[in-house]
Chain A
């Protein structure tokens, strides 16, 4: 079965410091991995994706993620956090079995960036 895990319910970081939001996955087949962000009372916004190729993926708003096949991880990173980055972050894996628009989401990690 396909799944993703976000081991931290909440991550606290000071503005200007680097941030990491963790995600591990379990899939049978090639992993198609995504990060989304959700602001209060809003839908999810796409940040970045890994399909194939370079393990370091760059996305919107200065975020990047590193795909690590041996550790089955896809951690989200940003070199310098902003207060406006405070939101709920979701890691997702796409069903590799051909049902490409069936996503499995992690439980979400709340990122708090303090001034």
Chain B
């Protein structure tokens, strides 16, 4: 099976712009989660989508949003970019929501805000 794919892999944006990141989960996986990874804050949970519905949300401002499509693909949007949004954004997919399911991560999108 193909793994989790994320596009684009690298992105450079200017403060104030908005950006959309895409994630395609492993075939058959219905849950998609997003994380932000920075040297200072480590890995922080953004949100999770399951069957096109946001099920969990982390402590991020409303500028961070997402959605999931009927084929389980997910997009994450960040509006009004700030310098502090520079990070590696990781997407993870899981077959379901049970405690026994592990998450499989994509390679990430490296976002640089200048």
Contact = CB atoms under 8 A, between A and B. Distances in A.
Given A100-B97, A100-B98, A105-B42, A43 B105 contact: yes
Interface in A78-115: 90, 94-96, 99-108
Nearest to B47: A102
B interface, over-half SS: strand
Given A101-B55, A101-B56, A43 B42 contact: no
Contacts of A102: 33, 45, 48, 56, 58
B85 to A, nearest CB: 19
Interface of A: 30, 32, 34, 36, 41-46, 49, 51, 90, 94-96, 99-108
Interface of B: 4, 6, 31, 33, 35, 42-43, 45, 48, 50, 55-56, 58, 90, 92, 94, 97-108
